[in-house]
A and B are shown apart, each in its own frame.
Chain A
Amino acid sequence: MSNGTATLESTLLSPAEKQVQRPPLVLNKRTMAWISSYVSTIVESDTPRWWWISIAITSPIALLTPLLLCYLVSTGVGVWGNNSPVAWAWDITNFVFWIGIGHAGTLISAILFLTRQKWRTSINRAAEAMTLFAVVCAGLYPLFHVGRVWKAYFLAPVPNANAIWQNFRSPLLWDVFAVSTYFTVSILFWYTGLIPDLATIRDRCTTKVKKFIYGILALGWRGANRQWRHYEMAYLLLAGLSTPLVLSVHSVVSFDFATSVIPGWHATIFPPYFVAGAIFGGFAMVLTIMLPARALYPQLHDMITPSHIDKMCKVILLTGSIVGYAYLMELFMAWYGANPYERDAFWYRAFGPYWWAYASMMFCNVISPQVFWFKWCRTNVVAVFVVSMFVNAGMWFERFVIIATTLARDFLPSSWGMFHPTWVDIFTFIGTFGIFTTLFLLFVRFLPMICMFEVKAVLPEADPHYGEEH
């Protein structure tokens, strides 16, 4: 590492310290002004052609989901493939898949914030946006899985003419609270973080309409000292509030399975294993969308540096290995526990008719991320992209394996059955990717993709101590 700031730093740092220098968070000695103007220009400039092309592709795909959900409601739940014994199938698989993806956003924004990991600043905004969009896709599934979606308000503890009160001992109900809290807190956190940047954009706007819209969105932010003090405190509190959520949401999702008495689900390892899996899948998705964004806006390379990608790959490697450990531990416990039903469940998973799903899961989640032990793979964008795609697929397979293969073998051999998705299942799921990417494209176009003021704060010139610890 050798660039301009080194002259100043070399006078202050001892030789030993110089060797463990961290790579800079912003490359090419970009100035504060450059950061503001570059990030704002993405929003201000004319809509690029690639954007129109992509949204023309993704928005029709996104429409599939609402249309097919209308078809589902008007025709009946039979249009989905789930049926006895596999009553939870793709709907719950996709729910857990999407909600898991959301976890990277909160982890980056809350836990990395509290632990003062400065590298989070250039990716947190996009990761949080991704979280929200993933939770939107996730939320659709349980909502429609209840069957009569217009009765979904039964899930909320409101007094009603049926005198029905929620069963607070049911993890399915905790799920409702966990996911809705998560969504609310994530949206608050994301929006609070956006306010100063929205004000920046407002101040740079040229047309009246834009000024008006961004002016309202900025909620009257003037950047006064007092506002900053309140802001910092609010942000810190929200970070504190969302930190437990990173762990709780997916733990609660795992309780849906773990508190049942079904062999293959009834395991205490589920909560930590689900949380690790969620972070694993979430980071893979962050990479899946950040790498193309970075390719489309080349200057982002200065803020989302190879070192950022490297760090995210390390997180994937760590959580992927935890997940791999959990898979093996599940098998070990099935064998060691000597419960014939448990053994049978896992034997069936690995060698039954769903062996291909189990094998894909093992390959994508456990084996493929191991390439990240090599620095070369962590810095090669193509390799990173390919592995993160594998991880995305692998995490979907994991949920499918857990849900469908377990239910396919009911207790009574007479009620064993297989799950076959219908075309409605398939296209509804494809549609959620459309929703996700469409929302993300809109986000890139209309909101500052990078948290400008936080990135400015990690520039060397923003440090009053010139790199000296105290």
Chain B
Amino acid sequence: MSNFFPRWSNLLPLKLLVCLTVIGCGVVGGIWYYFTPKYTRVGYQPDQPVPFSHAIHVQQLGMDCRYCHSFVEIAGHSNIPNTQTCINCHGQGKIKSDSPRLAPVQESWKTGLPIPWVRIHKLPDYAYFNHAVHVNRGVSCYSCHGAINEMSVVYEAKPLSMAWCLECHRAPENFLRPFSEVFNMNWHPKTFEQQQEMGLKFKQEWNVNPPVTCGGCHR
């Protein structure tokens, strides 16, 4: 029974161990990068029935979010505007009314059927979220939806994972801003120190106390 296994097989376990370690680290790293919301959700940009551009309407025309997302301040849910809102400007004989890009809007206005917008930001049902609570406490749309004003087509800018919610809930001072600037996508504090100083002041004055207990969001 001498030398049933050739001499090179002596090193085989070591080689296997090294390979398995490398593969193992690769798999863990891969899952960590590719299987988390930071990768799977951020950048999600579905095709919309109408190529509606926030860059034109918000940045160029200077419209306020609340003109269209009219309940964001007063309701938990931020609505998508109905066709009537668009028709205010794009109605017959007004701005670009016969542009082919606006055809679905005109169609919807005639038939009364809503435009089938594709939903982008969506939390699972077991997580409770409320827009008004955030917007009225100095949290800007910018903190959660990114630079909407520069998007010609909206995409998901933040992972919306639980870790991400908690990142702010544990230290809201990093994000709070004056009420007047909540809907202003172009307002940014000059330095991080300035933000913190201001944030801490607001947190103190307004008694901001976001929930970090499970029941706060999983009710």
Q: Give A contacts to B, CB under 8 Å.
A: 160-164, 202-203, 211-212, 215, 220
Cα separation A125 to B1 with both chains bound (whole Å): 26
Q: For A202, what are the chain B residues with a Cβ–Cβ distance below 8 Å?
A: 1
Q: For B20, what are the chain A residues with a Cβ–Cβ distance below 8 Å?
A: none
Tell me whether A161 and B4 are in contact (CB under 8 A): no
Asked whether B37 is an interface residue with its Cβ less than 8 Å from the other chain, the reply is: yes
Asked whether B45 is an interface residue with its Cβ less than 8 Å from the other chain, the reply is: no
Tell me whether B4 and A162 are in contact (CB under 8 A): no
Asked whether B8 is an interface residue with its Cβ less than 8 Å from the other chain, the reply is: no
Cα separation A202 to B1 with both chains bound (whole Å): 9
Tell me whether A162 and B162 are in contact (CB under 8 A): yes
Cα separation A391 to B171 with both chains bound (whole Å): 58
Q: For A160, what are the chain B residues with a Cβ–Cβ distance below 8 Å?
A: 36, 163
For the complex of A and B, 9 pairs with smallest distance between CB atoms: A163-B163, A162-B162, A161-B161, A161-B36, A163-B166, A203-B1, A161-B37, A161-B163, A163-B162
Cα separation A220 to B161 with both chains bound (whole Å): 50
Asked whether B206 is an interface residue with its Cβ less than 8 Å from the other chain, the reply is: no
A161-B37, A161-B38 known; A215 vs B162 contact (CB < 8 Å): no
Asked whether B172 is an interface residue with its Cβ less than 8 Å from the other chain, the reply is: no
Cα separation A416 to B159 with both chains bound (whole Å): 44
- Binary A-proximity of B9-23 (CB < 8 A = 1, otherwise 0): 010000000000000
| B123 CB, min distance to chain A CBs, angstroms | 12
| B158 CB, min distance to chain A CBs, angstroms | 12
> When the two chains form the complex, which single residue of A161, A163, A164, A215 contacts B5, counting CB atoms closer than 8 Å?
A215
Q: For A164, what are the chain B residues with a Cβ–Cβ distance below 8 Å?
A: 162
Q: For B161, what are the chain A residues with a Cβ–Cβ distance below 8 Å?
A: 161-163
Cα separation A300 to B5 with both chains bound (whole Å): 34
Residues of chain B in range 28-48 having any CB-CB distance to chain A below 8 Å: 36-38
Provide a sorted-by-A list of 21 A–B residue pairs whose CB atoms are within 8 angstroms.
Answer: A160-B36, A161-B36, A161-B37, A161-B38, A161-B159, A161-B161, A161-B162, A162-B161, A162-B162, A162-B163, A163-B161, A163-B163, A163-B166, A164-B162, A203-B1, A211-B1, A211-B4, A212-B4, A215-B4, A220-B5, A220-B10
Give B38's nearest chain A residue, CB to CB: A161
Cα separation A203 to B2 with both chains bound (whole Å): 10
Give A205's nearest chain B residue, CB to CB: B1
Cα separation A164 to B163 with both chains bound (whole Å): 8
| A167 CB, min distance to chain B CBs, angstroms | 11
Q: For B163, what are the chain A residues with a Cβ–Cβ distance below 8 Å?
A: 160-163
Q: For A215, what are the chain B residues with a Cβ–Cβ distance below 8 Å?
A: 4-5
Give B167's nearest chain A residue, CB to CB: A163
Q: For A163, what are the chain B residues with a Cβ–Cβ distance below 8 Å?
A: 161-163, 166
Give A211's nearest chain B residue, CB to CB: B4
Residues of chain B in range 68-94 having any CB-CB distance to chain A below 8 Å: none
Give B12's nearest chain A residue, CB to CB: A216
Q: For A212, what are the chain B residues with a Cβ–Cβ distance below 8 Å?
A: 4
Give A212's nearest chain B residue, CB to CB: B4
